[in-house]
Amino acid sequence: MKFVKPPGLKEGDTVAVLSPSRGLPSRYPQVYELGLRNLEAKFGLEVKEFPTAREDKDVLYNNPGMRAEDVNAAFRDKAVNGVIASIGGDESIRILPYLDPKIIRANPKVLVGFSDITTLTTYVNQLGLVTFNGPMIMAGFSQIDSLPTAFTEHIRQILFGSEPPYEYATFDFYSEGYPEWAEEENLGRVNPPKMISGWNWLQDGSLVRGELFGGCADVLEWLKGTEFWPRSDFWQGKILFLETSEEVPGPLRVKRWLRNYGIQGVFEKIGGILFGRARGYTDAQKSELDEAIVSVVAGEFGKPELPVVTNMDFGHTDPQFIMPLGARAEIDSKNRRFRLLESPVE
């Protein structure tokens, strides 16, 4: 499959903001509105709020078709250049049957979100478009002034475009979650910063190149066995990236999830595996997770040569890498380097 890249964003462009998952903007409008202001001030973007953006969370829950129609409308709208989710949740899979693949496929646009939005980025990617696993309005953009300036530049280079190759570099620190949103003094803040220990290169394979695919591991589990899960031949040559949610699924659960990929034959087809930093894990749990990954990939499925890197800067900690599904990337185990080989936008 040849993936179609969306046009890159530029100052003055309009981005659609909507709530395809949970309706938290209605509960924490101050957090949501700060994210909108940061989009405008930091990146020069115009915001167009779609009906679901501030809709009541119960109304959204009871109307998956309404949420899907906002997605369809945003892709249909010729004045819209990008689509950014307000926040995640846990049941956006319910909107997928209501999406219009013809409209979406015919109108490539920058689509950004993570966590539960993995359902949407996967769906659109399976239509043949590049999509982006990355920050959302209330989780990432709202807190941008509390994060390293390199994060702002990273967003610009990935979504607005830059000359390839683009090499990913770890940030100065990371944070897990946010202080209570209901307290006014916490607006735009993140929890206390933590030292970054670097990436863990568990299996040193040869230099590999392939198209990225992945997202929140918890959410991808819900897609398995449905019509929205990638076909067997899709996996050939891909680089799989996975990260775990704030619900902190333990190493044993992740091990079982990986076993499912193995039995599907995925490890025989892909070029490598990347894992985001596991939020909420102790150091002991992180070590246990690394051991579990190797025990499945190398031990159970006989792929000790498959490059595996863990503790990377994407997923449910801030700041996070934007990972473009469908863009060609390279894992260089010898030089401890991960980079994009092409711009993910036109």
Closest of 302, 307, 340 to residue 132, by C-alpha: 340
Whether 345 maps to a domain, the answer reads no
Residues 302 and 244 in one domain: yes
Instruction: For residues 100 and 69, give the distance between their C-alpha atoms in angstroms, rounded to a whole number.
Output: 8
| Domain match, 149 and 203 both | no
Judge whether 75 and 20 are in contact, CB under 8 Å.
no
Task: Please check whether residues 133 and 260 belong to one and the same domain.
Answer: no
pLDDT value of position 62: 98
User: Which of 268, 213, 265 is CA-nearest to residue 238?
Assistant: 213
Q: Does residue 4 fall inside a structural domain?
A: no
Give the residue from 140, 143, 104, 146 showing the smallest Cα distance to 125: 104
Same domain (yes/no): 229, 90: no
Q: Walk along the chain (346 residues) and give the pLDDT tens digit of each residue.
A: 789 999 999 999 999 999 999 999 999 999 999 999 999 999 999 999 999 999 999 999 999 999 999 999 999 999 999 999 999 999 999 999 999 999 999 999 999 999 999 999 999 999 999 999 999 999 999 999 999 999 999 999 999 999 999 999 999 999 999 999 999 999 999 999 999 989 999 998 889 999 999 999 999 999 999 999 999 999 999 999 999 999 999 999 999 999 999 999 999 999 999 999 999 999 999 999 999 999 999 999 999 999 999 999 999 999 999 999 999 999 999 999 999 999 999 9
* CATH number of the domain bearing residue 96: 3.40.50.10740
Residue 241 token pair: 């990236």
Q: What is the CATH number of the domain that holds 189?
A: 3.50.30.60
The pLDDT value given to residue 9: 99
Same domain, yes or no: 142 and 224: no
Do 134 and 253 lie in one domain? The reply is no
The answer to whether position 149 is within a domain reads yes
Q: Are residues 63 and 190 in the same domain?
A: no
**Global pTM exceeds 0.85:** yes
Tell me: do 334 and 192 sit in the same domain.
yes
Per-residue pLDDT at 310? 98
Shared-domain flag, residues 154 and 19: yes
Could you tell me where the beta strands, DSSP code E, fall in 173-243? Answer: 200-203, 208-216, 239-243
Boundary residue ending a domain (129, 164, 199) = 164
Tell me if 8 is assigned to some domain: no
| 49 vs 335: CA distance, rounded Å | 44
